[in-house]
Amino acid sequence: MKNILVTGGAGFIGSNFVRYLLSLSDCDECKVINLDNLTYAGNKGSLADMLDNERHIFIKGDIRDRELLAALFERYCIDTVVNFAAETHVDRSIEEPTAFFKTNVMGTQSLLEAAKNFWKIEPENKYSICYKPGVRFVQISTDEVYGALGAKGKFTEESPLAPNSPYSASKAGADLAVRAYFETFGLPVNITRCSNNYGQYQHFEKLIPLLITNCIANKSLPVYGDGQQVRDWLHVLDHCSAIVSVLKNGKPGEIYNIGGGAERENIDVVKMILAHLGKPESLIRYVADRPGHDRRYAIDFTKIERELGWRPVRNFEEGLAETVKWHLGRA
């Protein structure tokens, strides 16, 4: 793990991952090639403190550009890919589903093909499954590919895929492409599926930053439906540490669920933010629920804990307070 291609590295989780990776003492010789198309979800400002780091190379580009990918693999001798690049906002996927399938499915397939072609020891031999030593492709996915849960139970890696939105369907399609490249071509891959992330640099359209920024500005806080949708919250830096564990010790071909162990109803999160900022609950405004809105997600992360020794370390209440404080510092 020396020359790491991080796609979508100007996004929320991607930029935190780049920063986290470059801070690790056992990665002090790693070089990060950060490819991001800087769409609405990407913000180069999230990388401001890393743009002068000689071990971080930022490139604006699209993961569907096969010529660009081939050139990057060749120029930087890429040995690791961590694919964060994706259209990610469910509401936007309802308005414009085609863009989600183009980027999330076809973009992922372009990355897989570039990795296969560069890493394969005998690229002209279609039956060969031998690759350069130490290479790894990690696909960053979501628990939303599993659909919705009832009041009890948790998603495991064996849960069937049952996506309910164009976004989650496109991510499920990408996951299946990754699986196919492992089964057919022997490409050393892993898939990680995480619960809802929160923390610094998250896009303002997402629930927690939207609530915090509206609350600071004394604007109404929109809550879908009755607000009783349940999500498992994972701090972004816990997510980053889990991905590194998979990169270092994950078994090729395996899927690892990454959860925060912090299930909360959306309305409870809203009220916590109001309390942190000393604002009245009269700011809450209930709005019509969105189509295909899953009622509950919950992740069973027993597998990654058992096999790789990872578990989240950040308490949700403390992490949320820290996130509110960070937003106040930027207001």
Q: Helix, strand or coil for residue 258? A: strand
The DSSP element (H or E) to which 122 belongs, if any, is none
Q: Which of 131, 167, 201, 297 is catalytic?
A: 167
pTM: 0.94
Percentage above 70 pLDDT, the chain: 99
Domains and CATH numbers, the chain: 3-199+233-261+300-305 (3.40.50.720)
Per residue in 81-120, pLDDT (tens digit) is: 999 999 877 778 888 899 999 999 999 999 999 999 999 9
CA dist 140 and 182 (Å) reads 15
- Residue 143 catalytic? yes
Q: Identify the pLDDT of residue 151.
A: 80
pLDDT at 127: 87
Output the pLDDT for position 88. Answer: 78
pLDDT digits (tens, 9 = 90+) for 33-91: 999 999 877 888 889 998 999 999 999 999 999 999 999 999 999 999 999 999 877 77
* The pLDDT of residue 278: 96
> What mean pLDDT is predicted for residues 17-36?
93
Burial class (CB in 10 A: 0-12, 13-18, 19+), 207: buried
Q: What is the DSSP letter of 106?
A: I
Buried b (16+ CB within 10 A) or exposed e, 235-258: bbbbbbbbbbbbbeebeeebbbbb
Residue 123 one-letter amino acid:
P
Whether residue 167 lies in the annotated active site? yes
Please compute the mean of the pLDDT values over residues 198-210 and round it to a whole number. 92
The one catalytic residue in 87, 144, 232, 294 is 144
pLDDT at 89: 73
Catalytic residue among 36, 79, 143, 232: 143
Active site residue 20: no
Exposure class string for 30-65: b at 16+ Cβ within 10 A, else e: bbbbbbbbebebbbeebbeebeeeebbbbbebbbbb
d(CA 55, CA 6): 13
Q: What is the pLDDT of residues 185-199, one digit of tens each?
A: 999 999 999 999 999
Is residue 137 pLDDT above 90, yes or no?
yes
**What's the pLDDT score for residue 133?**
97
Categorize the per-residue pLDDT at 171 as very low, low, confident or very high, splitting at 50, 70 and 90: very high
pLDDT per position as a tens digit, 241-267: 999 999 999 999 999 999 999 999 999
